[in-house]
A and B are shown apart, each in its own frame.
Chain A
Amino acid sequence: MSARAAEAWSKPPAVPETHYVSGLVYSDESVFADEKRRIFDRTWHLACHESEVPEPYDFRTVDYVGTPLLVVRGADRRIRTFFNVCPHRGAKIVHELSGNTKRFTCFYHLWSFDAVGACTDIPRQEGYQTVGLKKDDVGLREVRTEIHVGLVFVNLDDQATPLGQYLGKALDAFEGPMTAGKGLEVFHYNRAIIQSNWKAWQETNLDVYHEFMHVLLRRTQMTAAPLEDRKVTVHPNGHTSIAGLRAKYEYYKGMQSRDDRLALPTLRADDFIFGTVFPHVAVLARGTTMRIDVVTPLDAHRTLIEWRGLGVRGDSAEDRQARVRHHNQYWGPFGRNVPEDAYAAEAAEMGFGRGAARFQVIARDEGGSGQDDGMLRAFYGEWSRRTGRPAANPSNAPMA
């Protein structure tokens, strides 16, 4: 058989249900509404790295699927997060992306709040005497905030499992590189809105097989170590990690092999490890530098991606320059790796966004090694569990 007519094209692939995904997961508006409610309102979201608020009273604002958030380091050095929303008449309070202040004053009627979310001032408060409204009643909404290996996670669900338990061992491989010595700091941040469903981006971090797409990986990665050395681990709660990848950087014209002296603690310079935290975080270490992705849907077809690059806190200028270069070669917006992934995500949207593509196949099985699709299957397994819709057939009535 060769090409397929309409009827054959609409038939699910002849593989087990766990091994393919329906295009409706990208395009159905009700699926997206459920994702927001059942996934993004309940899971741990990476707000920033702790080095972005290094000092007491440093703050950072972020937008999380339509919820404006304010991350602040208190006088006690603890990092807390609040809805960046005024309890008075609902205005977004802080409009700068970052800064340092002891007092957040809402521009609208000048109500003020401190770094622990308490209301400290209401101008002409006597106007509220009749109804008895007091400062104590109008604190900010605090969002659960927990830190792991320097990453500041928040959760809109007060009942969610604690972060440590949620992550399990998913980020264990990063403990050394990210926390030994002085720890890491963010030296790079950029963001882009790409025209695709959020999952299409996250798939580029879960799909090992697509290394064929990147000339950079064909040259530096596929040749560097045997495929059998790789080991995919599927963790509880839909997280994944992979080990056993290496890179021969010098195989790509214009790049040099990396010096072991610059390797992050516990890593070799040619090591490449990465992991994903369900639903939308990816953490990647290439020997000498790290990248962190955060993928946030804006709607079903538009996605905000934030990229961070990290180096060692207290690096010499020269070492930092080398790490920045290593980071940029692959991962900067002028790099040779990441722009191709964004291309792929947008191409998938062109297929799935309006229904031309019906299914994708995630059926590779190499016993958890090589280019196994196990990470994709783990992601969609968790996705199905949380949304109550099987990814292979998500328009089925939700399972309770």
Chain B
Amino acid sequence: MTARNAQAWANPPRVPPSHFVSGWVYRDPAIYDAEQAKIFRRVWRFAAHESEMPEAGAYRTFVHACEPMMVVRETGDRFAGFIDRAGPAGARLLPGPAGQCRSTRGLRPCRTAAKWGFVFVTLDPEAPDLDSYLGDALDIFRDVFEGREFSYEVFHFHQAIVEANWKAWQETILDLYHEFMHVVLRRTQMPATAMTARSLRQHRNGHVSIGGLRALYGNYQAYRVRSEGEALPGLTPDDARFTPLFPDTTIIARGTVLRVDTVTPLGPHRTLVESRGLGIKGESPADRRMRIRHHNDYWGPLGRNVPEDAYAAEACERAFGRGAALFQTIARDEDGRGQDDCGLRAFYAEWSRRLGRPACAPTNADAISRGEQEGKP
């Protein structure tokens, strides 16, 4: 058999239910609302890095679960998050994305906690504390952050609105198989180690960590080989590892530099992506220049990696957004190595658990064919 007719196309893929996802997860407004209520209002969300709030009273704003939010350094290492809405009209109190705030009186506080300088908030008073939420998901970064005399600092921030569902962005991080799309990864990453050297670990609460990746930077023309002396403590210069935290935050290290990504849904078909680059506070100007360059090579808005991911997310939106694509397959099994889809499966398993709907048939647990779903209210 080759091409498929309408009926064959509407049949779910012949793989286990955990190994495919229905297109409805991207476009059903009711699912979007349920995600806000049952996921975003319940999880811990990365708000800002401590270096963005250098002294007492310094704040940083962001959007989370459709709420205008802010986090402020109160004293020393104490941070406090608030819903930045005051007065009867609920207008934002703070004038810009960052600055000094005089008072938080009248703002509704939310639970706030920090780990390794990353400040998180949650809107759920019942949520477990941050440490148990994260569990051992960040273990692969222990060497990078723990027991260091220096601290990290954010040197890069940019944001972009991507015309796609937020999950299509998060998938570009969870999906290892798509390294085929990036010429930089085809050249620098795929030949650097055996596929079996990689390891993908699933953690509690839908987090995933990926280690064992390396890069041969010299294989991409215009990139320089990264030297031993340039590496961050705890890493070799060719190291690459990352942790996508459910649902919306990812911490990524490439030997010499760090990136933190957050994804914020603005609607079923629009997503805000924020990206930070981090280096060592107080390092020499030459080292900083090196780290900025390494960061931008892959991850800057003119870099060779991230813009391609945005292209991919929007290309999926074109097919899923109005219902042409009905399913995606996340069925690769390489025993937790290579280009296994287990990271995507872990994400969707947690998504299904929180929403109480299986991602393979989210609009009606019993009816997975398109025709039947069309009859839904």
Contacts and interface: CB of A to CB of B under 8 A. Distances in A.
Whether A and B touch (Cβ < 8 Å) is answered with: yes
Interface of A: 37, 65-68, 80, 82-92, 95, 107-110, 116-118, 123-124, 126-133, 136-142, 156-158
Contacts of B13: 133, 137-138
Contact of A92 (B181, B318, B339, B374): B318
Nearest to A90: B325
B19 A131 contact: yes
Given A89-B175, A95-B315, A131-B15, A82 B3 contact: yes
B6 A131 contact: no
Top-7 shortest CB links A-B: A66-B322, A117-B3, A118-B2, A90-B325, A142-B3, A127-B332, A130-B333
29 contacts: A37-B374, A66-B323, A67-B323, A68-B319, A83-B9, A84-B319, A84-B324, A89-B330, A92-B318, A107-B311, A107-B315, A108-B178, A108-B180, A117-B2, A118-B3, A124-B177, A124-B338, A127-B334, A128-B332, A128-B333, A131-B16, A131-B19, A131-B333, A132-B14, A137-B13, A137-B14, A138-B329, A141-B9, A157-B6
Interface of B: 1-9, 13-16, 19, 23, 171, 175, 177-178, 180-181, 311-312, 315-316, 318-325, 327-334, 338-341, 374
By secondary structure, the A interface counts as: loop
B312 A90 contact: no
A91 B9 CA distance: 15
Contacts of B177: 109, 124, 127
A125 B46 CA distance: 37
A88 B327 CA distance: 8
Contacts, number: 128
A41 B236 CA distance: 56
A108 B312 contact: yes
Contacts of B312: 91, 107-108
A91 B16 CA distance: 21
Given A91-B319, A126-B334, 9 more contacts: A66-B322, A84-B319, A107-B181, A123-B180, A133-B331, A137-B13, A138-B13, A139-B4, A141-B3
A62 to B, nearest CB: 12
Residue among A83, A95, A123, A158 facing the most chain B CB atoms (10 A cut-off):
A83
Nearest to A126: B334
A131 B331 contact: yes
Nearest to A119: B2
Contact of B340 (A83, A127, A137, A141): A127
A158 B323 contact: no
Contact of B324 (A68, A88, A116): A68
A263 B331 CA distance: 60
Contacts of A130: 333
B317 to A, nearest CB: 9
A228 B338 CA distance: 77
A83 B8 CA distance: 13
B316 A90 contact: yes
A108 B181 contact: yes
Residue among B322, B324, B338, B341 facing the most chain A CB atoms (10 A cut-off):
B324
A139 B3 CA distance: 4
A85 B14 CA distance: 18
A211 to B, nearest CB: 37
Contacts of A37: 374
A108 B15 CA distance: 21
A309 to B, nearest CB: 29
Contacts of B328: 88-90
